[in-house]
Amino acid sequence: MVCHKSLDTAFAYQTRFRFKTIEHIFLISNNESFRFKMKKKPLYLLMLVILAANAGFAQKIESQRIPLIGSNAPSFKAPSTNGAIVFPEDFGKSWKILFAHPRDFTPVCSSEVLELARLQDEFISLNTQIIVISVDRLVSHQSWKKDLEEVDYKGLGKMKINFPLVVDSSYAISSNYGMLDSKSNAGQSVRGVFFVDPENKIRAFQFYPNEVGRNSEEILRVLKALQMHHANNDIVLPSNWQPGSDVMIPFLSKEDKEELKKPDSKIYYLNWYMIFKKNK
């Protein structure tokens, strides 16, 4: 059943945050007469602020770049629903997944965050912490989180969201990770996922458009594959690899060649460049 009151509240929040941005920009001005004139011309004021905001967003897009695999994950400080955080220092030697989404109180983003909440215990068991990021303000994050925690998702009952929802209203984080949506006029990020290892190196990333939600099971699969390689850097993982299935060997070591001679060898090959090793 759709709660129209909740829908009205969502629209009200989106509108209020945009007008809060307007207010903050012009409160820094020391020109009293200018402020007085602008109060008399709200539409003109709104147009100026939208132009200023769009110009700032455009500058961020022009300067953004995606950090490469193997590079250090860009650091940041930001408020969140779990308090102020310093990334990556606050997350120690765990794996980290940065999970950016376009906007609070939107359908696809809500389904994604609820999926993460469903799997959050499994992420913890894999020594992995989730950090969700969007350009919305803290009061929006707090209200959205509270609302989502009242949803009975997939008949699983109400779930607590224990991971932080991080504020990126300045677009700084999204810009540093190359996640700003160049096709959006609303000033938002794409659906970005960054996998960061315990040494704070970027190990993989995924980008999705606004209209397509991410597969939480695929995020888990990629994480487990990265962790498998992290613990065994002499192997690689084939297409559609799942935990427990066979792995591949990029080249044969002396030990591998001896293993091949055994009748019950764990190593087998399809041709000289596709060598597998049984994982069980």
Instruction: Give the pLDDT confidence of 148-167 residue by residue, as tens digits.
Output: 999 999 999 999 999 999 99
Is-contact 86 200, C-beta < 8 A?
Answer: no
pLDDT higher at 215 or 9? 215
Segment 167-179, tens digit of pLDDT: 999 999 999 999 9
pTM: 0.79
Is-contact 108 206, C-beta < 8 A?
Answer: no
122 plus 204 within the same structural domain: yes
Q: Which CATH number characterizes residue 137's domain?
A: 3.40.30.10
Residue at 20 is within a domain: yes
Is-contact 3 105, C-beta < 8 A?
Answer: no
User: Which residue range forms the structural domain that includes residue 41?
Assistant: 4-63
209 plus 237 within the same structural domain: no
Q: How many structural domains does the chain have?
A: 3
Instruction: State the catalytic residue, choosing from 38, 45, 109, 135.
Output: 109
207 plus 158 within the same structural domain: yes
Residue at 119 is within a domain: yes
Segment 241-250, tens digit of pLDDT: 999 999 999 9
Residue at 221 is within a domain: no
34 plus 148 within the same structural domain: no
Per-residue b/e over 130-152, b at no fewer than 16 CB within 10 Å?
bbbbbbbbeebbebbbebbeeee
Residue at 219 is within a domain: no
89 plus 190 within the same structural domain: yes
82 plus 190 within the same structural domain: yes
Last residue of a domain, one of 12, 41, 63: 63
Is-contact 85 129, C-beta < 8 A?
Answer: no
274 membership: H or E segment, kind and range: strand 274-277
3 given a catalytic annotation: no
pLDDT of residue 5: 44
